[in-house]
Amino acid sequence: MDKVAIVGFGTTPFRARWIEKTYYELAYDAAKLALEDAGIDRKEVGGVVYGIYNELFERQFMPDVYIHNYIGMGLKPSVRVATGGATGGAAVFVGWTWIASGLYDIVMVLGVEKATDNYNYAVGHSTPETLKAILFSGDMTFENPSGLTAAASYALPLIAHIDRYGSPTEKQMAMVAVKNHKNAMNNPNAQSPKLLSVDDVLGSKMITYPFKFYDNCLYSEGASAVVLASERVARSLSDNPAWITGVGLSLDKAFAGERDDITVFTSSLHAGRDAYRMASIKSPARELDFAELHDAFTGAEILSYEAFDLCGPGQGGRLIEDGVVEMTGALPVNPSGGLIGCGHAVGATGVMQTGEAALQVQGRAGKRQVKNARTGLVQSIGGPATAWTAALIVQRIEKTGAGTKKRIASGRRRKGP
C-alpha cells in the first residue's frame, strides 16, 4: 500500500447560517483554500470524494454532482459518502483508499453541509424542521414514529452506561462542555467560542435528558476540504506533511436493541482497534498526543475515551475531572473546540477535524497548538445510536532522507499499481 499524506487543508468558518452562500458556493471556498494550502492547481487533482450527509438540508439530492461541476472538476472521478454524522471521517477513509491502492496520487476530500435553510413557519425557527430532516435517518417503520431525535439516539446508550457505572455524572459532562467551548476561543473558524462555568452548563435548559443546552453541539453550516497525496507527491510538495498512518471504519447494528452491549460505543472500539493496529499504536493513552473526538454531545466524548482505550470502562469521567483531556493535560481532546465549540456542519465536520489534526502534527495550529504534537486520533460518529465510526491516526514522521527535489504534482490515474 502507498503511504498517504495530508498536504493541504482549507475550511470556511462554521456558522449557524451561511445565508449568503449556497452549498456549492461554500464547497468552492473550501476547495480553493485547500488547493492554495497544498500549493497545487485544481487540474492536478486526480479525483474528489465528497462528504455530504442530508439531502433535505441541502434541498437537493445528489448535491455532489453539482459541486463537482461548480468547482471545475468535470470528468474527474468522484464519489459521495453519506454516513450520517460520520460522513466527513468516512469520506477521508475512502479518499485514503484511492491513494493507498496506488490508483491516484492526489485526491481531494470535500465535506459540506447546509442545515438551516429549512424553516418551521409555526415556530419561526429552523430547529424543529432540521430535527425532522434528521429523523428520516431513523428507521421509518420502527423508530421514526417514536419521535427519536439525534440527541435521544446518543442519550439511550449513555443512560444505560450511567445506570451501570454511575458515570459520567452531569458535572463531568458539563466539564467537557466548558472545555470545548473554551478551546474554541483559540479557533477563528469556530461557531461557539465561549467561556462558561460548570454551573452555566448545569443551569442551561434541558434538551434531551441528560443533555442540557450547552451539552449539545449546534447545527452548523460550512465546508472543509483536505488534499491527500501519495508519498512521492507529498514529499515533493511539503517538507513536513501530515501522514495518515492508520484508518478504521465500523458499522454496528443499526437497530441498537439487537446489540450485545448497549453501553459501549462498539463501532468506535472496532474502528479504533483497526486504526491503532495499522499505525502500530499499542498503548494509545501513552502514545497519542491529542485527539479530535466526535463530541456531538458531552457524554459521547466521555464514552469515546473508553471506546478508544484511553481509560477503562466506566473511567471516562475521571479523564475530564483529572484534567488529562484539557489543553494543559497529557492528552488534550478537541483542541479545535470539537463539535460543541467549533460546530457540526455534518459532512464537513470529520474533514475539518482531520485537517485540524494535520495542522497539529505540522505545528501549524496557532493558538490551539498542542505542544510537541506528533500523533493524533480523529473520530467521526454517525447513524442511529452511534452505529458508524470512522477513525484515523494522523502523525508527523521525521524525514529520514532528502526530499524529492523535483516537484511532482500530477494526480492523474497511474498506469498500473
Partner 1 sequence: MIKDREKWLEHASQKIKVPQELIAKAFKDEIDGTPAMDAPLEIPDIMDITYKYSYGGISRFFRELRDNRRLYGSKCTHCGKVWLPPRINCNECYAPTEWVELGETAEVVTYTVVYYGTSTFYDRVPYVCAFVKVEGADTLIMQNIFLKDIKMAKVGMKVKIQFKEQRNGDMGDFWYVPADGVYDNV
List interacting residues with partner 1 (CB under 8 A). Answer: 19-20, 56, 59, 119-124, 127-129, 131-132, 134-135, 139, 141-143, 145-149, 151-152, 155-157, 159-160, 163, 205-210, 255-258, 262
Nearer to partner 1, 79 or 123 (CB): 123
φ, ψ dihedrals at 407, nearest 5°: -75, 125
Nearer to partner 1, 133 or 242 (CB): 133
Residues in a beta bridge with 4? 230, 244
Going by C-alpha positions, the residue among 97, 73, 107 that lies closest to residue 417 is 97
Under 8 Å between Cβ of 8 and 227: yes
Nearer to partner 1, 213 or 403 (CB): 213
The nearest distance, CB 209 to partner 1, in angstroms, is 4
The nearest distance, CB 303 to partner 1, in angstroms, is 13
- How far apart are the two ends of the chain, measured CA to CA in Å? 9
Return the residue matching grid coordinates 414514529: 145
Nearer to partner 1, 121 or 417 (CB): 121
The nearest distance, CB 391 to partner 1, in angstroms, is 25
> What is the helix (H) or strand (E) element at residue 228, kind and residue range?
strand 222-230
- For Cα atoms 364, 284, 326, give the angle at the middle one, nearest 5 degrees: 55
The nearest distance, CB 361 to partner 1, in angstroms, is 37
Nearer to partner 1, 25 or 321 (CB): 25
- Residue 289, classed as helix, strand or coil, is coil
The nearest distance, CB 158 to partner 1, in angstroms, is 8
The nearest distance, CB 254 to partner 1, in angstroms, is 11
Helix 298-307 vs helix 170-183: crossing angle, to nearest 10:
100
Nearer to partner 1, 144 or 369 (CB): 144
Residues 134, 150: Cα–Cα separation, whole Å? 7
Residues in a beta bridge with 110? 50, 225
Cell of 323: 484534567
Residues in a beta bridge with 388? 251, 382
